[in-house]
Structure 1
Amino acid sequence: MSHRGYMREEQYVGPYRLEKTLGKGQTGLVKMGVHCVTGKKVAVKIVNREKLSESVLQKVEREIAIMKLIEHPHVLGLYDVYENRRHLYLILEHVSGGELFDYLVRKGRLSPKEARRFFKQIISALDFCHSHCICEPVHPTFVVSLFGLTRFGVMLSMSTTAVIKLYVRI
């Protein structure tokens, strides 16, 4: 599933140099990563294994396996996974543009055209996930309440372990 022991000091995960923190959560944090050769920016989700129960860790590992098989323009891409005894390092697609919630606060009301564009992206991603048997009950309050979960892009959690993410492009 992943690479073991491929972390040099604390500033690197594999070939990625860790930079600023993009967000923090209960079980870890997300940092900007930059590939040392190509300069490509990624988001590195650092999950503290010690803060997860064995059953949750198994769910995370199962979802990682699923994420590696999924490719869609509005489902956050998982490029690679590194691990050691204490942490899982998920190398994720970096999504710039900020969160939809912040965008709405700044801009105010969306035009019908803009609202349709965002809605189409969300529906496209949900349809893709459902057609691949990745199903969670999603209702309007669930969607609205989860727009601000992360600091790197606009994402909607599709699971309780918050690994599979949908996002809209601003």
Structure 2
Amino acid sequence: MMTGPETTGSDPVQELIDPQQWVDQHGDYLFRYALHLVRRADVAEDLVQDTLLAAWRGRERYAGAAKERSWLTAILKRKVIDWLRQTVRERNHLAEIGADEPTDDMFNGAGKWRNKLKRWMSGSPAEDVERIEFWTVIQGCANKLPSRLREVFVLWHLEEQTGKEIC
């Protein structure tokens, strides 16, 4: 007598996923992770909701290769990157219609710092690194790279993939 998924006709991977438990089991972790990256509670909440919705919609494609939390975190990382890109696009649009570039006062025409970095920092280095202005500058600089180099930069530094995964 056969037992298991073959007899029930259900997918064992889908049985591992319990979307009704995602908020209870992973919600706080995902929120803290998003808040750490974007430093705005309202944006972090929206990103977590978007993540859970995307996971719900894509649950059939979940292969079970990673734990649910890792899978959800990977989706959240992409949502954060998309949010950062959108934020940069909006700032670039403001610059096109006459608003000052957020980096104009930081760099000279040759791309060198106008002021020493110490003057720019207002708190601990960890706080300054996570500021949205930092990410805006990183995204602006990354956008100036050739597409292949930019893709490698994003995968290595933002998505923290290994060299083997990138290749």
Q: TM-score, normalised by structure 1?
A: 0.29
Superposition TM-score, scaled by structure 2 size: 0.29
Higher helix share: 2
Bigger radius of gyration, 1 or 2? 2
